[in-house]
Every structure is written in structure tokens, then in C-alpha cells.
Amino acid sequence: MAEDNGYESVLCVKPEVHVYRIPPRASNRGYRAADWKLDEPTWSGRMKITSKGKIAIIKLEDKNTGELFAQAPVEQYPGCVVEAVTDSSRYFVVRIEDGNGRHAFIGLGFADRGDSFDFNVALQDHFKWVKQEGEFAKLEASQSTTPKLDLGFKEGQTIKISIGNIKKKDAGSAKSRPVSGGLLPPPPGAKPGTPLAPPVSQITAPATQTNTAALLDFGSPVSAAQPSSDMWGDFTSAGSGSSKDAVRSGWVQF
């Protein structure tokens, strides 16, 4: 597509077109190709459509030498420079200029209907592009006048972020709770099921020799001078019929 610079871009080339001298417009109803002498064209040659910036230029050139016969600058399409006839799709009325401010209307015809279709589409596409470029230019102009929103931090400016529903773990939750009943907690590393140590208040001192002797003194105290070698020997004489033996042994028979 053409750009707004000093170069021309070629939009369409057709090797054979015909130019006709046309009578003045008879009424406002438009031109009719049937009023022309279609079998006697005034000139035949090559047609080329170029673009330079926003302007499209229809050039009629000699097909052998490339010499320019006539040209028609087009600034708008559809418009007054190119106008279709009312009775055919292969013929158009074109306003040509000589570069000195003079202009004339000629009839332009194509031998093939497809060539006339390409001619029409080339002009339509060019001015569609021109319209889009104009809309883009207006959009850029409106954006340049709109003040831009500055989202950057100013010098010394800070922000505060609040994150809710976050609770700190209780530092003392890891500590073990005291065991009810006055018992101490199990030592670290103790296996589950290990019996706990009894409280200090329930620990009793081991029995002394005196308490043990008292438990073994079932009768009269035995003479310390002649201790018995077998402290259970008296059970053998418990069934004796002699009361003296019973008294001697310290057992009473009932």
C-alpha cells in the first residue's frame, strides 16, 4: 500500500484499454456507453494506476514506448473524477488533466469484464486504506492530548500491605501440659506406655532389719545366746501331744 512519501507505488496495470470521445451529458441521469461509438475508439493503449501518498493516479500510456497520453489524479472514489456509466460495467467516464489546470472528460473502456473489475477494486482498496490512515491519525492525536496517568512512586512515598487471617503459633503450645494427680511428665524420648514414676510423697523408705525381725517374731523371743539354726524348725513339733514341748517351742495349741 502506498506511503506518504515521494515515491509512487503501482496498484494496477492493464495492458489494453480504449479511450472514447464522449458527448456532453444530456441530463442528470448519468452517462450511457451506448451513446458512444464503441467500435471506433479514439485511442488504445495501456493503463496503469499508481499511488503517491493519499492520491491515486490513472495513467494512460503507449503500450510500446510508455509515452504518457493522459492522466487523471483521483483524490476520492467514488467521486467526480471516475464515474461508472449506467448501462455497462466495462465503461467509465474519467476526468483527465493536462497539468496546467485544464481538464476534459473521456470515456474509458475495457475489452474484458475482469479488467474493469480489477480497476474498480484497486481504487476502492486504496481509498479504504486512506480512510483507515485518517482514523489512526485522529486516534493518535486524541491520545497525545490526553494527560497520561502517572502510576510511579513519588519520592518518599510508601505503601502498606495488610494481610488478614494470619495467626502466629503459640510459643508455649509445644510445652507439655502437667499430668493430673501430681505425676511428673515422661522424660524426653520415653516410649509410649512407659509407666510414670510415682510421686515423691508415695515413695517409702525400705524396711529396716528391725522391722523384718518383728515380722518373723511369731511367738516368744528366741534367746539371743542360742539362736536356732532353722527358724522354721518349730513347725515339725507343732503336732506333738506334749504341752511342755508346745510351751517350749513357743507355739500354743488350740
Domains annotated on the chain, with CATH: 9-143 (2.30.29.30)
Per-residue pLDDT tens over the stretch 192-213: 555 555 555 555 545 444 454 4
Buried b (16+ CB within 10 A) or exposed e, 101-124: eeeebbbbbbeeeebbebbbebbe
Q: How far is 154 from 131, CA to CA, in rounded Å?
A: 42
Per-residue pLDDT tens over the stretch 77-88: 989 999 999 999
Q: How far is 33 from 243, CA to CA, in rounded Å?
A: 173
Q: How far is 41 from 48, CA to CA, in rounded Å?
A: 18
Question: CB–CB of 238/218 below 8 Å?
Answer: no
Say what the pLDDT of residue 192 is: 58
Q: List beta partners, residue 26.
A: none
Total-model pTM? 0.54
Q: How far is 140 from 242, CA to CA, in rounded Å?
A: 141
Per-residue pLDDT tens over the stretch 156-166: 777 777 776 66
Per-residue pLDDT tens over the stretch 10-50: 999 999 999 999 988 877 778 999 999 999 999 999 999 99
